[in-house]
Amino acid sequence: MTPFQLRPWSLSDLDHLVQFGDNPRIAQNMTGQFPHPYTPEKAKAFIGYAAGNNPPNILAIEVKGQAAGGIGLHLQSDIHRKNAELGYWLAEPYWGQGIITRAIQQMVDYGFQNWAINRIFARPFGTNLGSQKALEKAGFLLEARLEQTIFKNGEYLDELIYAVRRK
């Protein structure tokens, strides 16, 4: 098993964020907020944003001493305030090694320890089978499939909603 750790983002991660994040195979499975191309300017702005909360809700996934991905909980507001949306990505060289499943499990524990939330949900695209499998292995259950609700790169995609609840 490839070791990794979750930790806060730092400006020293900028080069690795650009190196690993500037990948169309990652961007195709992310919302439009994940830039492609991933420029140093966009990386610097993201790191500044990610470092802005205490406790941090967006963490780097460090593999072999490098920031090789990111994972975050986005707290919801108003009537959804007991929920947080989970988002994540991992550098392609580390796909298929179980890292993201374990990172999801750690982030879920971290989220329930640090915030008064009862549900963490993720919304992978219907075409992102790797993410669906990682969520299922991490204990998430499929709550809904919304057909053709996402428009990305000129095509309509299904949106899935997976969730896990505080025990």
How many domains does the chain fold into?
1
Inter-residue contact 9 to 47 (CB < 8 Å): yes
Does the pLDDT at position 1 exceed 90?
A: no
Phi, psi of 126 (to 5 degrees): -60, -25
pLDDT digits (tens, 9 = 90+) for 20-59: 999 999 999 999 899 999 999 999 999 999 999 999 999 9
**Confidence label for 154 from pLDDT (cuts 50, 70 and 90):** very high
C-alpha distance from residue 149 to each of 74, 121, 136, 155, 159 (Å): 21, 17, 22, 10, 6
Domain residues for 38? 5-165
In this prediction the pTM is: 0.96
**Which CATH number covers residue 148?**
3.40.630.30
